[in-house]
Structure 1
Amino acid sequence: MLDICLLGTCGMMPLPGRWLSSTLVRFGSTLTLFDCGEGTQIPWKSLGWGFRQLGAICFSHMHADHVAGLPGILFMLAHAGKTDPLDIYGPTGTTYIIDGLRRLAPELPFPIHIHELRGEQHFELPGGLKASCIDAVHGVPCLAYRVELERKPVFEVEKAKSLGLPVQYWKPLQQGEVIEYEGQTFRPEQVLGAPRRGISFAIITDSRPAESLSQFAHDVDLLICESMYDTIEDLPLAKANAHMVANEAAGLAKAAHARQLVLTHFSPKVQNTSQAEKLARSVFPNTRTGKDGMIITLNYTS
């Protein structure tokens, strides 16, 4: 099970009742943060999920509305007593910006490891979630992220019994290990059922739509996608600023065969997000507009 909270859904500048772009993901006892605009620690404190469990921050890009909240986050983690490492992922140039922001928080009780990513890459987040990224289309180095929670096949007890393999070897076999016992080799596929669908979501923000992005987000359970603008008349503005209109985000979700779409990163001029939702639903019906504090829980399907 994954819990995903939209801490902030605004782009460019915070508004009363709408904080800047930030998404917090909880898996077990581990937290992962995607972007942290100015003031992110405030809605986070209201959430009540704790702070010390943060294992990684994944930055889409280095614009201020996505990174300026980092010093506050670092102070908050230190105050919470975090001592284990914090991994920071981001595009080319992340180290330079983080080093600058760290001047406001030079002494911390935990180490920071920065990973600069470019193009399609795969990595593992703290807690065991599988993550990947590709380049977005924003005029500056920018990444879209995908996160997956794999689901192991069913362990078929009767098959294990029929092999005559002692119980103490069942768990290693279930976890994918090859077992040698009394001169015989036992392989996981001998006791495991068919593959099962896991859980996946993608976050695409500050980007124009692209076929590469729809392919990247193929078949996700949840696509969180920017909707900077809410009217078709704003398309020239969206193209000029390398953002999306709500119907473009919906088109991306439709092409990706996503299960659901949640819109975020609204322009400050979008006071009421209902128009964005209406426009997006005309293309992709299973659409909701994100609201600050919204929690989406993803569970395994049967």
Structure 2
Amino acid sequence: MIDICLLGTCGMMPLPNRWLSCALLRCGSNLVLFDCGEGTQVPWKSLGWGFRQLGAICLTHMHADHVAGLPGVLFMVAHAGRTEPLIIYGPPGTNYVVEGLRRIAQELPFPIEIREMRGEQQFTLPGGLRGSCAPAAHGIPCLAYRVELERRPAFQAEKAQALGLPVQFWSRLQKGETIEYNGQTVQPEQVLGPPRRGISMAFITDTRPTTALSSFARDVDLLICESMYDNPEDLPLARANAHMLAEESAGIAKAAGAHSLVLTHFSPKINDPSQAEKAARRVFPATRAARDGMTITLDFAS
């Protein structure tokens, strides 16, 4: 199971009732943060998920509304007592920006590892999650992220019993280990069922729509995507600033075959995100406009 909280939903600048766009993912006791704009620790504190278990931060790009909150978050994680390493993923230039921001957050009780990526890479996230990234189209290096939680095939006890395997070996086989017992070698596939669909989500923001991004988000359970503009008349502005209309975000979700779409990163001039939701639903009905603090739970299909 995965929980995702939209801590903030605004683009460019925080507003009195809307923090900057960022999402916090929880898998078990592990936390992963996507983007870290100014004041991120404030709605996070209100959420009550704690700070100590933050194991990774995935930054889409180096504009201030996506990274300027990093010192405050690092201080909160430090005060929570973390001593284990914290990994920060991001595009080229991440190391330079993070090192600059850390000049006001130098003394931390945990090491920070910075991993710069150029897209189309896979990496490991806390909690057994598999991460991947792809280039976005924003004029500066920018990444989209995808997170997947695999589901092991079901253990078929009757097959294990037919092979005469004691119960103490069952969990090892379910984890994919090969077992030697009573002169026989037992492979996991001998006692496991067919492959089962896992859970997946994608986080795409600050980009123009591309075919590659639709392919990247193929069949995700949840697509969190920017909706900087809600009015089709703003298309020239969206093109000039390398952002998207709500209906363009919906187009990515539709082409990807996503199961659901949540819109975020609304322009400060958008007072009512429900208009973006209506525009997107004309293209992709399974759309919701995010609100600050919205939490979504993804679970394995029964």
Shorter-chain TM-score bucket reads: over 0.9
- Equivalent residues, number: 302
Report the Cα offset of residue 116 of structure 1. 0.5
TM-score between the two structures when normalised by the length of structure 2? 0.99
Q: How many angstroms apart in 2 are the aligned matches of 1:269 and 1:83?
A: 41
Matched, 1:65 2:65: yes
Q: How many angstroms apart in 2 are the aligned matches of 1:63 and 1:21?
A: 12
Q: In structure 2, what is the equivalent of residue 127 of structure 1?
A: 127
Q: How many angstroms apart in 2 are the aligned matches of 1:126 and 1:247?
A: 33
Q: How does 1:193-272 map to 2 (within 5 A)?
A: 193-272=193-272
SS in structure 2 of the partner of residue 11 of structure 1:
coil
Provide runs of 4+ in structure 1 moved above 4 Å. none
Q: Which moved more, 1:76-85 or 1:106-115?
A: 76-85
Q: In structure 2, what is the equivalent of residue 91 of structure 1?
A: 91
Matched, 1:148 2:109: no
Letter in 2 for 1:296: I
Q: In structure 2, what is the equivalent of residue 107 of structure 1?
A: 107
Q: In structure 1, what is the equivalent of residue 297 of structure 2?
A: 297
Matched, 1:13 2:34: no
Q: How many angstroms apart in 1 are the aligned matches of 2:140 and 2:218?
A: 24
Report the Cα offset of residue 39 of structure 1. 0.4
Q: Deviations over 1:109-152 (max 9, x none)?
A: 11001111112111111221111111111111100000011111
TM-score between the two structures when normalised by the length of structure 1? 0.99
Q: Deviations over 1:5-33 (max 9, x none)?
A: 00011000111110011100111111110
Q: How many angstroms apart in 2 are the aligned matches of 1:141 and 1:260?
A: 27
Q: How many angstroms apart in 2 are the aligned matches of 1:80 and 1:165?
A: 45
Q: How many angstroms apart in 2 are the aligned matches of 1:236 and 1:49?
A: 40
Q: How many angstroms apart in 2 are the aligned matches of 1:248 and 1:292?
A: 22
Q: How many angstroms apart in 2 are the aligned matches of 1:190 and 1:80?
A: 45
The two structures, once aligned, show a CA RMSD in angstroms of 0.8
Matched, 1:34 2:34: yes
Report the Cα offset of residue 181 of structure 1. 2.4
Report the Cα offset of residue 185 of structure 1. 1.8
Report the Cα offset of residue 180 of structure 1. 2.2
Q: In structure 1, what is the equivalent of residue 282 of structure 2?
A: 282
Q: How many angstroms apart in 1 are the aligned matches of 2:53 and 2:181?
A: 40
SS in structure 2 of the partner of residue 197 of structure 1:
strand
Q: How many angstroms apart in 1 are the aligned matches of 2:174 and 2:48?
A: 35
Q: How many angstroms apart in 2 are the aligned matches of 1:105 and 1:282?
A: 46
Q: In structure 2, what is the equivalent of residue 168 of structure 1?
A: 168
Q: Deviations over 1:242-288 (max 9, x none)?
A: 10000000000000000000000011111111110110000000100
Report the Cα offset of residue 184 of structure 1. 2.1
Letter in 1 for 2:216: F
Q: In structure 2, what is the equivalent of residue 182 of structure 1?
A: 182
Q: How many angstroms apart in 2 are the aligned matches of 1:12 and 1:58?
A: 18
Letter in 2 for 1:82: R
SS in structure 2 of the partner of residue 177 of structure 1:
coil
Report the Cα offset of residue 165 of structure 1. 2.0
Q: How many angstroms apart in 2 are the aligned matches of 1:6 and 1:185?
A: 48
Letter in 2 for 1:173: L
Q: In structure 1, what is the equivalent of residue 74 of structure 2?
A: 74
SS in structure 1 of the partner of residue 197 of structure 2:
coil
SS in structure 1 of the partner of residue 45 of structure 2:
helix
Identity %: 73
Report the Cα offset of residue 179 of structure 1. 1.7
Q: Deviations over 1:140-188 (max 9, x none)?
A: 1100000011111110000001112222222111111112223322111
Q: How many angstroms apart in 2 are the aligned matches of 1:67 and 1:300?
A: 32
- Any unmatched runs of 5+ in structure 1? none
SS in structure 1 of the partner of residue 151 of structure 2:
coil
